Amino acid sequence: MIRADVEIARIHPELHGQFAEHLGSCIYGGLWVGRESPIPNTNGFRADAVRWLKELGVPVLRWPGGCFADDYHWRDGVGPPKSRPRSLNVSWGNVIEDNSFGTHEFMELCRLIGAEPYLAGNVGSATPREMRDWVEYCNQPSGTTLSDLRISNGAKEPFRVKYWGVGNESWGCGGNMPAHYYGELYRRYSTFLHDIGGTELFLIASGPSGDDVRWTRELLDVCQTHMPAGLSMHYYSGGPAEATHFSAKQAEEQFAIFQSVEQAIIHQREVVNGYYHGDETALILDEWGVWDATDPIDEQKRGKLWQQSTMRSAVAAGLGLNLFNRQADKLYMCNIAQVMNVLQSLLLTDGPEGKNSVRTTTYFAFMLFKAHRGNMSVMTRADSDSPHSVSLSASRTDRSLVVSLVNSSATKAVTVRCKILGFPGTRVSGQMLHSNDLNAYNSFEQPDLLHPTTFSPRLEDGVLIVELPPLSVATATVEA
């Protein structure tokens, strides 16, 4: 049943955010090929990637990590590229980081694809001064040495960066800190991070892995007088097999994790709300997605954590995006890991030298959910006789009701009948991504094998009827 008259909350477009890290071939050879590259590019960015990300719309892009963020020194990445230092990326395989992609390149990418930048600052191996200076470099209009340096490096206007992560996974790769110690650091850092040049900062503290309540409580006990604007949590759905070798049982196990993700969001929200003004701290799932087993040979050729995105991955994306809609009152931002060539990516190239790129099944799952952005999420209820494998969410404007349905069964087709209350629908249309093969994917030889196609849902006496084949992600749009 869909109760279009029972509103949950507005769906922040930021729930469809992305993440790009200096890891494998996400940045170098992926998004960034350099201006001299034989690969078609726009100001050094892979032209296909720019076009496709712009078409999809990326509400917010997080950078430079991940683990990399806590070993990143922003000054290394500004100024003439040739004179930038060369360092080691110790977080991801000791590869040489030539810093040719830095703050200005990232801002240019955000400008090209229309994304709001989200910078993750270094708490693990830097100082409050370093992060405070980065804020000044980015946001002060002019007149200080740092802002004048930005201008002389080619950016007359300030970057006006609002979202700042204060460290990443501080319980792990960000410094292996105990929660209370990180809490003290958070207080110290945030004291020196100020609104500058009229840009109001939105500081995001490094929150729990999964539903680690102990971390959240110990951190917030220390921060109660300095509650962060956002608390970041990370939740991956691990995979026991390589992306293209899943059995139906393994897929089922991976899909089941999304129920735990949803429970973790509900639970963490409850915990944070228990603090004074806690309800003003936004919950941010800034790393999520399926993390499958990787093939070391593939990784060597294509980059660390390079993973194919299959029909199963699209179903997983649909399960995630559906639950974000349902929990729209508890979540402010989510960033899938990662936008290109790493983990559950939206775009893939055949390694850093690969000329061709493809839009993955995950890209198309995001496309199918695009119509929800900014809408009011409304209540849905899987009726008692609905098959367990169907996941559902809905959102509305005055003129339309958007319904997303995911059938995660690898074998069973289902007919979903959904009574709609509170929205007088007259017409309905639909788009669906589907393959009977859970390991099917868009290859470089067949880049458009899987893409959404139109299908015909029905509307009969206020009941929405959708035939869902096994492994399908569908969106039905009901118009008033």
Instruction: Give the whole-angstrom CA distance, residue 154 versus residue 368.
Output: 38
Using the 8-state DSSP alphabet, how is residue 405 labeled? E
**71 versus 105: smaller Cβ distance to ligand AHR:** 71
Partners of 408 in the beta sheet? Answer: none
Q: Catalytic pick from 21, 169, 200, 262?
A: 169
Instruction: Assess contact for 166 and 189: CB atoms under 8 A.
Output: yes
For residue 65, state whether it binds ligand AHR (rule: CB under 6 A).
yes
For residue 169, state whether it binds ligand AHR (rule: CB under 6 A).
yes
Tokens of 22: 């200096």
Q: Which of 41, 99, 122, 168 touches ligand AHR by CB under 6 A?
A: 168
Tokens of 365: 């799952």
Cβ 129 to ligand AHR shortest distance, Å: 24
Instruction: Assess contact for 342 and 304: CB atoms under 8 A.
Output: yes
**90 versus 480: smaller Cβ distance to ligand AHR:** 90
Q: Which of 21, 48, 108, 211 touches ligand AHR by CB under 6 A?
A: 21
Cβ 21 to ligand AHR shortest distance, Å: 5
Cβ 315 to ligand AHR shortest distance, Å: 21
Contacts with ligand AHR by CB under 6 A: the residue count is 11
Active site includes 287?
yes
- Strands in 98-156 per DSSP E: 116-121
Instruction: Give the whole-angstrom CA distance, residue 304 versus residue 302.
Output: 7
For residue 239, state whether it binds ligand AHR (rule: CB under 6 A).
no
DSSP assignment string, 54-108 = HHH--SEEEES-SGGGGG--GGGGSS-GGGS--EEETTTTTEEE---S-HHHHHH
For residue 309, state whether it binds ligand AHR (rule: CB under 6 A).
no
Cβ 196 to ligand AHR shortest distance, Å: 27
Instruction: Give the whole-angstrom CA distance, residue 242 versus residue 473.
Output: 22
For residue 121, state whether it binds ligand AHR (rule: CB under 6 A).
no
Sole residue written with tokens 């960000």: 174
Contacting ligand AHR within 349-388 (CB under 6 A): none
**66 versus 470: smaller Cβ distance to ligand AHR:** 66
Contact pattern from residue 242 through residue 281 relative to ligand AHR, giving x for each residue in contact according to CB under 6 A and a dash for the rest: ----------------------------------------
Tokens of 200: 């109001």
Cβ 241 to ligand AHR shortest distance, Å: 19
- Binding segment toward ligand AHR, per CB under 6 A, in 166-174, 196-204, 296-304, 421-429: 166-174
Give me the count of residues in the chain.
Answer: 480
Cβ 72 to ligand AHR shortest distance, Å: 11
Tokens of 342: 């790493």
Tokens of 306: 């390079």
Instruction: Give the whole-angstrom CA distance, residue 440 versus residue 255.
Output: 17
For residue 286, state whether it binds ligand AHR (rule: CB under 6 A).
no
- Binding segment toward ligand AHR, per CB under 6 A, in 31-39, 165-173, 382-390, 430-438: 165-173
Q: Which of 287, 335, 392, 441 touches ligand AHR by CB under 6 A?
A: 287
For residue 292, state whether it binds ligand AHR (rule: CB under 6 A).
no
Sole residue written with tokens 């992306």: 243
Instruction: Give the whole-angstrom CA distance, residue 285 versus residue 19.
Output: 11
Cβ 178 to ligand AHR shortest distance, Å: 18
| SS3 at position 372 | helix
Using the 8-state DSSP alphabet, how is residue 457 labeled? -
**288 versus 324: smaller Cβ distance to ligand AHR:** 288
For residue 66, state whether it binds ligand AHR (rule: CB under 6 A).
yes
Cβ 131 to ligand AHR shortest distance, Å: 17
Active site includes 169?
yes
Angstrom CA distances, 249 to 44, 261, 454, stand at: 43, 19, 29
Instruction: Give the whole-angstrom CA distance, residue 54 versus residue 476.
Output: 23
Residues contributing to the site for ligand AHR (CB under 6 A): 21, 65-67, 168-169, 173, 287, 337-338, 343
Residues known to be catalytic: 169, 287
